Chain A
Amino acid sequence: MIPELGVFALAVAFVVTLVQSTVPLLGAARGDARLMAVGSAAATAQLLFIAVAFAILTLAYVRSDFSVANVAENSHTLKPLLYRITGVWGNHEGSMVLWVLILAAFGWTVAALGHNLPPSLKARVLAVQGIIGALFLAFILFTSNPFERIVPVPVEGRGLNPLLQDPGLAFHPPFLYLGYVGFSMAFAFAVAALIEGRVDPAWARWVRPWTLAAWCALTVGIALGSWWAYYELGWGGFWFWDPVENASFLPWLVGTALLHSAIVVEKRDALKTWTVLLAIITFGLSLLGTFLVRSGVLTSVHSFAVDPARGVFILGILILLLGGAFALYAARAPALKGGGLFAPVSREGALVLNNLLLCTAAAVVLVGTLYPLVLDAFGGGKVSVGPPFFNLTFVPIMVPTLLAVVVGAMLSWKRGDLAGVMGRLWLAAGAAGLVAVATLGLGGLRHALAALGFALAVWLVVGIAVDLAARLGLGTVGARDCLRRAAKLPRSAWGMAVAHAGLGVVVAGITASAHWQVEELRLLRPGETVALASYAVTFDGARQVRGPNYSAWEGRLVVRDGDRLVATLLPQKRFYPAEGQTTTEAAIHTTWLADIYVVLGKAEEGGAWSVRLYHNPLVPWIWVGAVVMALGGMLSLSDRRHRVGAPRRAARAGSEPSAAKA
């Protein structure tokens, strides 16, 4: 009975979205405040009903109600509670319910916090959110019902893919979806602005916080996914240019560009049409990612179900939303002309360069990801586009981007002084040069790329420090004045500095781990010792252990640095009987400057085991840096000016008080 209520709740939510996507539009067109106010009520109702459906599905998982096909196929009574809950989105149907739940939550924030938005803009934004919600709810109801019953009811569930029974991956999808779906806000605002025929700095002040929030979540989501791949897949890699990774990276790249171009709209009232286009493309790429992953056109751990009907449905949604948005753009964008002028060398110019490079990078990744599909579809034969292609094409685009980050942030608006900025950056340039020379001196010419990577990382971090020091007047004014200036510096400025520095940390981590990873592949007998970097690792043998829903072989390796005990590592090779699958659980000891990473391989004759040992220098910096970037974004988000609802449009809000009540 209860699962049927879940379907019912979804159906009601679908009807509500139909109302939400039409009535407010009509109201906005007619200037009827009462019709416009329906949008807010509908958004609230939509969230409520989807939340009920989500809660019912979660309950079915927690209670292991195997009469629900989805639960039977993806859960098991022996699974720990945490993974029974996260299992809700560990499958296609459940993950789509999470998708619409997050969408409804975002839409609701406009209804709840948007009381000082112009009523017509608010109504139109909610209507666009309603349209997206309606399409995806229809998708769930018609192709992916999570509450379908199964007869006869199985005694036991089939369990969740053990690869997904992991804390890193348990929370990877929600963050990713917060990012993907968060960009729907930018999309909704862009489409609403096109209907309204106006984009002004107030619009950008509304779009930025949501884009920033989505971007932060996506950054964390991608970092979690990459971290998981690092410790779970068992060979110490962290990014594989897998099509599905690319699918999440594309919206991130373009979303980053959007974040920066929205600054120009807000501060200088320029780049409006471009920003609107970027907002549409960013969400479009999020949808494309959903399509690629959910349709099964890509073979991957992520494509749970290969069902052509679903693929076609999502493709239809993609074409409808993007086609509509682009048509509207073509018709209305020319009317959005105007805005501040600027010289090529200026903050605006630097942000245009940022957009140019990030969008080119995204386009290259997109082409590389889709090329095999398209070529095959046109009978051009099968090719693979793997890491060598992306490394050869993506990295050269990132080099000038990273160089420009520091300079661009220091240029002034309208007309900048490039020579002056470069003069202030002598310290950063010197430090970067020094690090490059030192790297080449230690590693030789074969490490030229590593030298470049380190130089860029140092350039970023020192450059940002120099800029901050100058802003605070370090060395020119007294300590107290410095502190006062620090307190006065807007949070968004701090946020930018932190995020950019985080980028430098990521670059350093990627560079070091790509060039100085040490791998030892050994057949070890109990008691044998291996030298790994500066450590001695002793194998103490392996024994059988039991987990809640798996059995495992657990190796024991003791890491020593001279006489000092550094760590005892317990890598496992697990077997999950319910799913009939094995996984490797790497054991990692991190010093934050490097990881010692051990994987247990196969048992050989005479009690020997094959063991892989890695020393991965600076690898933790990749995720630390990503988290720092996200923190920078949140810091910027906490800036007073970005706080949702901060921009007051007193005149407008005052003239139509009735709309604010809804």
Chain B
Amino acid sequence: MIRVLAVVLLALAGAVPAGALEPGERLADPALEARAREIGKTLRCLVCQNQSIDDSDADLARDLRAVVRERLSAGETDRQVVAYVRDRYGDFVLLKPPFQPSTYALWAAPVVLFGLAALTVVVVLRRRRGAADVARLSAEEEARLARLLDDGRR
């Protein structure tokens, strides 16, 4: 936490708008560069307002872009590169939250919420149909109604 804060403060002090990814930063190998772009889109620029390092023009984002490219050039896999950055900056740097105990609830939410909502709808509709059945007259009541109506007519 303190480390993140320190990074934030340092970067804020030196933050000068520079423009996101610059032509000079790119790798010569287009395949490797494409991988770097994809990775860049999933890493958060820690000093920005919810931007990925690929979109951001902060210095920290540029440094991270350089780190990603350096690691990729050294032959690391995408997974290794992301792990390297995550080890240094924590889960906060991942725009796609990892699947781990602290985020089980987050990832389960869509399925659980939809399931619960659907279940509620089904139960309510069922109960309403039940209520409609109760409202229908039994054979006995039908007979009584007929008798009463007959009385009325006479």
Contact = CB atoms under 8 A, between A and B. Distances in A.
A539 to B, nearest CB: 13
Of the candidates B51, B95, B105, the one having the most CB atoms from chain A within 10 angstroms of its own CB is B95
Contacts of B4: 382
A610 B23 contact: yes
A386 B52 contact: yes
Contacts of B105: 371
Contact of B102 (A375, A384, A582): A375
A565 interface: no
B117 interface: yes
A483 B42 CA distance: 54
A522 B23 contact: yes
Contacts of A393: 109-110
Chain A at the B interface: SS class: mixed
Interface in A579-601: 581-582, 584, 599, 601
Contact of B49 (A242, A397, A582): A242
B26 to A, nearest CB: 7
Interface in B98-114: 98, 102-103, 105-106, 109-110, 113-114
A348 to B, nearest CB: 10
Interface residues of B, number: 42
A568 B103 CA distance: 50
Contacts of B26: 521
B97 A341 contact: no
A527 interface: no
B114 A237 contact: no
A235 B98 CA distance: 26
A309 interface: no
A103 B38 CA distance: 45
Nearest to A388: B96
A344 to B, nearest CB: 6
Contacts, number: 119
B17 A521 contact: no
Nearest to A352: B121
B55 A384 contact: no
A385 B109 CA distance: 13
Contact of A380 (B42, B90, B94, B102): B102
Contacts of A363: 109, 113, 117
Contacts of B78: none
Interface string A200-233: 0000000000000000000000000000000001
A602 B22 contact: yes
Interchain residue pairs A-B with the least CB separation, the first 3: A386-B95, A388-B96, A382-B92
29 contacts: A234-B20, A235-B20, A237-B55, A241-B50, A300-B49, A341-B128, A344-B125, A360-B110, A360-B113, A363-B113, A364-B109, A368-B109, A381-B90, A381-B102, A382-B90, A383-B94, A383-B97, A383-B103, A384-B91, A384-B92, A384-B93, A385-B106, A386-B95, A387-B52, A388-B95, A392-B96, A522-B23, A523-B24, A604-B24
Interface of A: 233-235, 237, 240-243, 299-301, 341, 344, 352, 356, 359-360, 363-364, 367-368, 371, 375, 380-389, 392-393, 396-397, 521-523, 581-582, 584, 599, 601-602, 604, 610, 612
